[in-house]
Amino acid sequence: MADATTETSGGSQMSLTMKIMIAMGLGIVVGVILNAIDSSFLNTHLVAGFFAMIGTMFVNALKMLVVPLVFFSLLGGVTGIGDIRVLGRVGSKSFALYIATTALAITVALVLATLIGPGRGFDMTGLETSDISGAEAPSVWGVFAAIVPTNPIQAFASGEMLQVIFYTVILGIAVLMLGGRSKPFIEACDYMNEVMMKIVDLVMRAAPYGVFALIAKTFAEQGISLFLPVMAYVVTLVAALFIHLFITLPTMLKTLAGLNPLVFMKKMRPAQIFAFSTASSNATIPVTYQCATERVGVDKSVASFCIPFGATINMDGTAIMQGVATVFLANVYGIDLGLMGYITVIGMAVLASIGTAGVPGVGLVMLTMVLGQVGLPIEGIAIILGVDRLMDMIRTAVNITGDAVVTSIVAKGEGKIDLDVFNDPNAGMVGEGDAELPHHAIA
Ligand code: ASP
């Protein structure tokens, strides 16, 4: 099958991944130049006008795929596993690993932030601290109760991913229980899954333009001056995110699944670029799923469950941001968090990451909740607001990498990873022409 992350086999044309990376680089250059020019005409019509339009259309096209793709691939996955016990094992293993990686991520972030100590001696003069109201902390029980939808159509329509996953798994189990009679339905779902993946291919063709527009817009709007007052926060946060991305996750992948992290990272690069450009784990689900199945070699039965599940409940990068931001703001306000404070931050960040979906900026909303719990002023958010979009982009790339690492570890444990695909550098790099409409198609 053609692939979202398609590379050409012929060699004369540039690979799609390459094009997307060039688009990203160009987007940064154009955005920085536009920011320096700061023309109100260009800002209105090009940045907030044309670029915003292209970027929104592209992200909408990705989001349009998420619910139907998850539904059909997960139905195929559940019926493909065929054994409810295996399903339970995949579910509990991935849940435990997702929680463990998030807790590990935030612990490392807290330690690093405490060692570096960003925010000590911070000068608050000239900073506007507008009114920001805090989000309510979710109760553990409430988070779990909300997994069961009252109305599945509503859950699908509003994209409540945990509810969509729950309903689809139940439906898949019921289909399995009906045995032989379900065969035509299962085949239809497999077929629809392939149709969805074809639409992913089509949307991907627009990816270089979409990525360019999103990145150029962000950089045109984000001046470098925003970063200077909070440089210590940015540096600490990026360092913690990189430690997770380049040390913690690769070590887990190597020790728990015996997979080569360098090969893995190269294969996940398209999904990381999409996460970076869209700042949304949810919108990136189609690309993460495709990279995991067609490039890494994870069986669809595992990826169809673990990838959307991870995009919803696993946010390592977001937890890291919350850890660093809490320590930074505690230093700014000269408040001592104490051991209990740190433990509260860890617990709240893990809970918040389960209870909220992977969409842009949600991490900041969750941060208000964490700050409230440890008694820090919520207005502190205003200090880091200016740099949050760029930080969101980086942490979302970390979030989806964590999803794919856990998915691969679970798949390896279940014997559901095709090592030939993993070891084949060209896997998932089929000719781009595959997504063309064949001449006989409408005959
Ligand atoms: N944008 C992040 C995600 O979608 C969540 C956040 O940190 O705001 O994964």
Distance from the Cα of residue 109 to its chain's centroid: 19
Query: Are 179 and 185 spatial neighbours (Cβ–Cβ below 8 Å)?
Result: no
Which of 245, 396, 403 gets mutated to test ligand 1 (max ligand atoms within 8 A of its CB)? 396
Residue 42 has a pLDDT of: 92
Pocket (CB within 6 angstroms of ligand 1): 279-281, 315, 318, 358-363, 392, 395-396, 399
> How many degrees, rounded to 5, is the angle at CA 324 between CA 242 and CA 381?
125
Predicted confidence (pLDDT) per residue in 351-401, tens digit: 888 777 788 888 888 888 888 888 888 888 888 888 888 899 999 999 999
Task: Report which protein residue has its CA nearest ligand 1's atom 3.
Answer: 358
Residue with tokens 């915003």: 52
Query: Are 148 and 381 spatial neighbours (Cβ–Cβ below 8 Å)?
Result: no
Greater confidence (26 vs 121) lies with 26
Return the ligand 1 atom nearest residue 356 CA: 5
In a domain, 220, yes or no: yes
Where residue 126 falls among pLDDT bands split at 50, 70, 90?
Answer: low
Residue 130 has a pLDDT of: 53
In a domain, 433, yes or no: no
Using the mean position of ligand 1's atoms as its centre, give its distance from the Cα of residue 246 in Å: 19
Greater confidence (389 vs 442) lies with 389
In DSSP notation, 235-254 reads HHHHHHHHHIIIIIHHHHHH
Minimum mean pLDDT range among 239-253, 299-313, 405-419, 422-436:
422-436
Return the ligand 1 atom nearest residue 364 CA: 8
Predicted confidence (pLDDT) per residue in 247-288, tens digit: 999 999 999 999 999 999 999 999 999 999 999 999 999 999
Domain with 37, as residue range(s), is 12-423
Residue percentage of the chain with pLDDT more than 70? 90
Distance from the Cα of residue 149 to its chain's centroid: 23
Count the helix, strand and coil residues of the chain and give each as a percent rounded to the nearest 5.
Answer: 75, 0, 20
d(CA 145, CA 133): 25
Mean pLDDT of the chain: 86
Both structure tokens of 330: 């505690």
Both structure tokens of 321: 């941001």
Query: Are 290 and 331 spatial neighbours (Cβ–Cβ below 8 Å)?
Result: no
In a domain, 2, yes or no: no
DSSP 417: B
Check pLDDT > 60 for residue 235: yes
Residue 289 has a pLDDT of: 94
Task: Report which protein residue has its CA nearest ligand 1's atom 1.
Answer: 360
Task: Report which protein residue has its CA nearest ligand 1's atom 6.
Answer: 363
Return the ligand 1 atom nearest residue 395 CA: 7
Where residue 338 falls among pLDDT bands split at 50, 70, 90?
Answer: confident
Predicted confidence (pLDDT) per residue in 137-195, tens digit: 667 787 788 889 999 999 999 888 889 989 999 999 999 889 889 899 999 988 998 89
Task: Report which protein residue has its CA nearest ligand 1's atom 7.
Answer: 363
d(CA 308, CA 311): 5
Return the ligand 1 atom nearest residue 318 CA: 7
Which of 63, 399, 403 gets mutated to test ligand 1 (max ligand atoms within 8 A of its CB)? 399
Both structure tokens of 80: 């493909």
Residue 150 has a pLDDT of: 95
In a domain, 147, yes or no: yes
In a domain, 359, yes or no: yes
Using the mean position of ligand 1's atoms as its centre, give its distance from the Cα of residue 358 in Å: 5
CATH (domain of 303): 1.10.3860.10
Q: Under 8 Å CB-to-CB from 69, ≥6 apart: which residues?
A: 193, 196, 197, 200, 285, 286, 289
Query: Are 328 and 119 spatial neighbours (Cβ–Cβ below 8 Å)?
Result: yes
Q: Average pLDDT, stretch 58-86?
A: 86
Where residue 319 falls among pLDDT bands split at 50, 70, 90?
Answer: very high
Return the ligand 1 atom nearest residue 360 CA: 1
Predicted confidence (pLDDT) per residue in 191-232, tens digit: 998 898 888 888 888 889 999 999 999 889 887 777 777 899
The candidate with the shortest Cα–Cα distance to 104, out of 312, 360, 315, is 315
Q: Under 8 Å CB-to-CB from 391, ≥6 apart: which residues?
A: 234, 237, 238, 321, 384
Both structure tokens of 372: 């409230």
The candidate with the shortest Cα–Cα distance to 69, out of 203, 180, 262, 182, is 203
CB atoms within 10 A of CB 416: 21
> How many degrees, rounded to 5, is the angle at CA 229 between CA 226 and CA 230?
85
In a domain, 429, yes or no: no
Per the structure, how many domains does the chain have?
1
DSSP 298: B
Which of 395, 398, 400, 401 gets mutated to test ligand 1 (max ligand atoms within 8 A of its CB)? 395
The candidate with the shortest Cα–Cα distance to 172, out of 92, 97, 91, 98, is 91
In a domain, 212, yes or no: yes
Return the ligand 1 atom nearest residue 280 CA: 4
Return the ligand 1 atom nearest residue 283 CA: 4
Helix (H) or strand (E) holding 178: none
Residue 170 has a pLDDT of: 93
Using the mean position of ligand 1's atoms as its centre, give its distance from the Cα of residue 277 in Å: 12
Residue 218 has a pLDDT of: 87
In a domain, 70, yes or no: yes
Residue 440 has a pLDDT of: 53
Greater confidence (432 vs 271) lies with 271
Residue percentage of the chain with pLDDT more than 90? 52
Residue 393 has a pLDDT of: 93
